[in-house]
Chain A
Amino acid sequence: MHLEYQVYEADFVNAGAASSSIKKTLKQLNVSPQIIKRVVVALYEAEVNAIAHAYGGTIYADIEPDKITLKVVDTGPGIPDIDWAMQEGNSTASPEVRNMGFGAGMGLPNIQKNVDKLNVTSTVGVGTTVEMEVNFT
């Protein structure tokens, strides 16, 4: 099953819409609540990243009987040093974004904690792609 969602730059009001929708789907598939939680938390972080740091993007979700694959593709500034960004506390978020409670430097590390596979690719000045996979068993 394939699902797609658009997210827009600085649209914090709708942050979480994609993860909410995917949660509803997974609940109907009898995926265990613990696994749904991991999917939702990881996707929510990635969603917020695309909204807060990039100029928006597209979320692709593919659900198979044994796993979910998520791909968040944004157009934006890109990440110059992915290893640095993967460490807790490191953030390039603007003060405005931090004031809204986002940008604590926990995004990518939190995604890492919740998924079984993570692949981040980025080109500076073009955008970032975050690919995640969570197994159902």
Chain B
Amino acid sequence: MEKTPFFHALKIDEDTCIGCSRCMKICPTEALRVRDGKAVLIPDRCIDCGNCFKVCPTRSIYIEQDDFENIFNFPIRVALVPAVFMGQFPNDITVSRIYGILKDLGFTHVLETESSIPIYTAAKNKYAAENPDIRPLISTFCPAIVRLIQVKFPGLTENLIPLRAPLDITAMYIRRKIKEELEVKDDQIGIFYITPCAAKIAAVKNPVGEEKSLVDGVINMDSLYNRVYHEIKKQGHGYKEQKLPVSQLSADGVLTSLTNGERRLSDAHHSYSIDEIHNVIEFLEKVENEEIEDVDFLELRACDQSCPGGILTCDNRFLICERVFGRARKIADRERKGEQTKDHELEEERNYLMRHMKVGDIHPRSMLVLDDNIAVALEKMKKIDEYRARLPQTDCGICGAPTCDALARDIVCDNAELTDCVFIQRNLEARGNMDVQESLKIMEVIWGKAKMNDYVKKK
């Protein structure tokens, strides 16, 4: 089991957090607690899915990003842009215009992440053919899913396809190409990925199964959107754009980050594509029990509607989907008429890229294990059952844990007390074993001084 700590892109701003516990209640891996009136993250449980970010009413959960000015530390500055970024803008703003603006903002090269899809797909299908005993194969396209499986479904880690993601393949290609063409050294090239989500940042900063990331920095999609939109406004209505050559992304490539995008390109006979983290968890429970048989391939995505639903996208996910879809339709039309070939510029490096596709082993890092020693774990589990039986099963969250079960576990792991439960407090008060001041003190430790107002008094 891997022990090095997870890097997390999601951070909590303690100064602005009001301890409302919305994040704690929505977290699919029960990775949050409330202590002293603030949300606290348990790093080993968090998978960077971003559900907490979406529900935070005070924007106190934020996503660390590299300073945009960092790009100027490099003489050659590459923007790796996922196709979903182009879907943020209304249809009358062309891809070529966005490329132009990205260059105005300081990038010397712009390339869409999905340029590597033909090679990525070929590598996945090759891996599937070479490993007929591993079924179902699970895509590693979505990094939040990789982490979910590591922490919650450790038995399925060997089903993860240990290949580089399209982002890394494209980064590998562009670095090699620039080095050859411009005869520059590695450290003169800065590759920056424009991310739609927190999980990709975590994957770039602390890649699973890789020693070092192939990307030099990450820029959050919402912040780049603001910069690009600002430029569009400056250009005004009468703007006549110069047509720039843009990546010859295939229709298949454009569609990949949408739900079904990978599945439709897979050789697998029986496959499913499932989006949204709770749906994925429900399905994986069944896969793990072998209740679902004869499945060859699973495309799993943490966000509803896949990447258009990423927490850093800037528009409604359904609108983004439709725009991305519309672009794919146009390209498919050109491909049919022979105006655009499906073969892509990365083809020239196909052999090199295919040789460098493998990542190292992906290890389980279960969050569920109570103790490495089964006898000790068994003892703890008995105690958890005892505490669970004494708790009201209301999952009210007043104890600062998301569920009664989580509290029972926290108590046994010495991170909470049975008296944190408000029902237990009332029981004790009724028996005369606890006075009101004591129970208020407990509440204060969990919810902080600021929450201990007199709510009855009229303001």
User: Which A residues are within 8 Å of any B CB, using their own CB?
Assistant: 1, 16, 19-20, 23-25, 27-31, 33-34, 36-37, 40-41, 44, 63-66, 136
Contact of B154 among A27, A44, A63, A136 (CB under 8 A): A27
Contact of B155 among A37, A65, A136 (CB under 8 A): A37
Collect the chain B residues with CB atoms within 8 Å of residue A64's CB.
Answer: 378
| Residue of A28, A40, A41, A136 ringed by the most chain B CB atoms within 10 A | A28
Identity of the chain B residue whose Cβ is nearest the Cβ of A16 in the assembled complex: B291
Q: A27-B154, A27-B366, A37-B155 are in contact. Are A63 and B378 (CB under 8 A)?
A: yes
Task: Say if the beta carbon of B187 comes within 8 Å of chain A.
Answer: no
Contact of A28 among B156, B368, B375 (CB under 8 A): B368
Q: A31-B374, A36-B155 are in contact. Are A1 and B368 (CB under 8 A)?
A: no
CB distance from B223 to the nearest CB of A (A): 39
User: Which B residues are within 8 Å of any A CB, using their own CB?
Assistant: 154-157, 285-286, 288-291, 364, 366, 368-375, 377-378, 381-382, 385
Contact A1 B382 (CB under 8 A): yes
Contact A27 B368 (CB under 8 A): yes
CB distance from A4 to the nearest CB of B (A): 13
Collect the chain B residues with CB atoms within 8 Å of residue A33's CB.
Answer: 154-157, 364
Q: A34-B155, A37-B155 are in contact. Are A29 and B289 (CB under 8 A)?
A: no
For the complex, what is the distance from the CA of A41 to the CA of B286, rounded to whole Å?
Answer: 11
Q: List 17 A-B contacts (CB under 8 A).
A: A16-B286, A20-B285, A20-B289, A27-B366, A27-B369, A28-B368, A28-B370, A29-B370, A30-B369, A30-B372, A33-B156, A37-B290, A40-B289, A41-B289, A41-B290, A44-B291, A65-B374
Contact B364 A29 (CB under 8 A): no
CB distance from B203 to the nearest CB of A (A): 23
Identity of the chain A residue whose Cβ is nearest the Cβ of B288 in the assembled complex: A23
CB distance from A44 to the nearest CB of B (A): 6
For the complex, what is the distance from the CA of A23 to the CA of B285, rounded to whole Å?
Answer: 10
CB distance from B382 to the nearest CB of A (A): 6
Collect the chain A residues with CB atoms within 8 Å of residue B378's CB.
Answer: 1, 29, 63-65
Collect the chain A residues with CB atoms within 8 Å of residue B373's CB.
Answer: 30
Collect the chain B residues with CB atoms within 8 Å of residue A40's CB.
Answer: 288-290
